[in-house]
């Protein structure tokens, strides 16, 4: 975890291609998630439980285009 003066340690998947990635950083109380192409935008915050539910839905294909 980090304190308020530290910058988040952003990580991305090893399967990221051409910089078009989702990045994640662990912070006090949860995780920050951002689009690597839009780093200037405010990242989304997820608690550990919320991120777990989101990841499970993604793996289950709930976000596939129709």
Predicted local confidence at residue 34, as pLDDT? 92
pLDDT in tens, 4-60: 567 899 998 887 877 778 899 999 999 999 988 888 889 999 999 999 999 999 899
Higher local confidence (pLDDT), 64 or 66? 64
What span, in angstroms and rounded, lies between the C-alpha atoms of 38 and 20?
10
Predicted local confidence at residue 31, as pLDDT? 96
What span, in angstroms and rounded, lies between the C-alpha atoms of 46 and 16?
21
What are the residue boundaries of the structural domains of the chain, listed by start?
11-59
């Amino acid at each position: 975890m980090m304190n308020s003066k530290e910058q988040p340690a952003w990580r991305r998947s090893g399967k990221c291609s051409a910089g078009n990635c989702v990045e994640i950083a662990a912070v006090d109380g949860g995780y920050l998630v951002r689009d690597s192409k839009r780093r200037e935008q405010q990242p989304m915050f997820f608690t550990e439980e919320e991120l777990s539910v989101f990841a499970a839905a993604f793996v289950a294909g709930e976000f596939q285009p129709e």
